Homo-oligomer: A and B are copies of this chain.
Amino acid sequence: MKKIINNPADCVPEMVDGLVRTYPQIVEQISDTEAVVRSDKASMKGKVGIVSGGGSGHEPTHAGFVGKGMLSAAVCGQIFTSPTPDQIYEAIKASNSGAGVFMVVKNYSGDVMNFDMAKDMAEMDDIKVKSIVVDDDIAVENSLYTQGRRGVAGTIFMHKILGYYAQNGASLDEIDKIAHVVLPNIKTIAVALSAATVPEVGRPGFELAEDEIEFGVGIHSEPGYRREKIQPSRALAAELLEKLDEKLSLNKEKKYAMLVNGMGATPLMEQYIFSHDVLDLLNEKGIVPVFSKVGNFMTSLDMAGISLTLFELKDDKWLEALNAPAETIAWQKG
């Protein structure tokens, strides 16, 4: 293992420290936690707070999406490990300005349990809390660490949509309703060329041969559904798109947002080549996404690979929400 770190046990606190000191105009650390909250408190006033979080190792998720128009706070657990309820509770308190707090939780058993406990703690303080569990990964029905489907890169779309509505004054009940209407329309699937190496473990989560890939892996090196020889980008795109088509019934009469997401070690050049192939294949169906992004959004440390998310935009307001500005570290203008 060759990494730019100090003591493996210090990775998360040092990372959070580096993040808040690099971008003090956007995020600040919540005292005695590894959670961050929006620096611009004025923009949170009277609005529903949107809180997310999970294990670290997926940067820029989630802290990179804290800022006006997106998340209010994010909790950074240990690497690939759920944050503790007390830390989530602090993020809820820091995000609450009286209108309540909505939590976006990726579907991993530890996250679901700990966010629920934090919600209970907050409710004892009379803070109203609601939540959604994102399960956009269509690869496998159940998985390591997960009952049901995993929550992966599509979570970023959920952050953006809900952050927009919260910023525009939607109530907690309205946000809860929108989240549940939006969720079934976001679907993701990934392919990996290599696994992530957790610093405290020191070796990759699984081994792939030099010419081998795995379809359907999760963001913690969980198994996928098939291993085979590496194929051209276009064949990978076709496989992932076929799986998404099964769930979303792709249709040229509908509108879609696309997210091509690098898993951490995959160069942007490869992501754009893959994006070119996906767009070609969609075009063959008469579909041109009305919104698209390519980049490292939901990574898995140094995993090489890519995920493809499609989001059916059933409501034009959702497109408006995606296009609206967000003053975060990682949601670029593009």
A residues apposed to B, CB below 8 Å: 2-7, 11, 14-19, 21-23, 25-26, 56-57, 59-60, 64, 67, 79, 193-194, 210-213, 230, 232-234, 236, 258, 260, 264-277, 279, 292-294, 296, 299, 301-302, 304, 306, 326-334
Give which listed residue, B4, B230, B270, contacts A233 with CB less than 8 A.
B4
Is there contact, CB below 8 Å, between B274 and A18?
yes
Is there contact, CB below 8 Å, between A272 and B5?
no
A2-B211 in contact given A11-B269, A272-B15, A275-B18 (Cβ < 8 Å): yes
Task: Tell me the bound Cα distance from A263 to B56 in angstroms.
Answer: 21
Is there contact, CB below 8 Å, between B4 and A306?
yes
Task: Tell me the bound Cα distance from A334 to B68 in angstroms.
Answer: 12
Task: Tell me the bound Cα distance from A7 to B231 in angstroms.
Answer: 11
Residues of B within 8 A of A265 (CB): 264-265, 267, 302, 304
Instruction: Tell me how far the C-beta of A146 lies from the nearest C-beta in chain B, rounded to whole angstroms.
Output: 22
- Which residue of chain B has the shortest Cβ distance to A7 in the bound complex? B232
Residues of B within 8 A of A260 (CB): 22
Residues of B within 8 A of A233 (CB): 4-6, 14
Taking each of A269, A279, A292, A326, which has the highest tally of chain B beta carbons within 10 Å of its own beta carbon? A269
Number of copies: 2
- Which residue of chain B has the shortest Cβ distance to A25 in the bound complex? B334
Task: Tell me the bound Cα distance from A26 to B7 in angstroms.
Answer: 42
A274-B23 in contact given A279-B18, A302-B267 (Cβ < 8 Å): no
Instruction: Tell me how far the C-beta of A7 lies from the nearest C-beta in chain B, rounded to whole angstroms.
Output: 8
Instruction: Tell me how far the C-beta of A80 lies from the nearest C-beta in chain B, rounded to whole angstroms.
Output: 11
A299-B268 in contact given A332-B329, A333-B67 (Cβ < 8 Å): yes
Known contacts A15-B269, A18-B271; 7 additional CB pairs below 8 A are A2-B211, A4-B270, A11-B269, A14-B233, A19-B275, A22-B272, A22-B293
- Which residue of chain B has the shortest Cβ distance to A194 in the bound complex? B2
Is there contact, CB below 8 Å, between B328 and A5?
no
Residues of B within 8 A of A23 (CB): 292, 334
Instruction: Tell me how far the C-beta of A290 lies from the nearest C-beta in chain B, rounded to whole angstroms.
Output: 10
Instruction: Tell me how far the C-beta of A215 lies from the nearest C-beta in chain B, rounded to whole angstroms.
Output: 13
Report 21 cross-chain contacts, Cβ distance below 8 Å, ordered by A residue. A2-B194, A2-B211, A2-B213, A3-B193, A4-B274, A5-B232, A11-B273, A14-B233, A15-B276, A18-B272, A18-B294, A19-B272, A19-B294, A22-B260, A22-B279, A22-B294, A25-B334, A26-B333, A59-B268, A264-B268, A302-B304
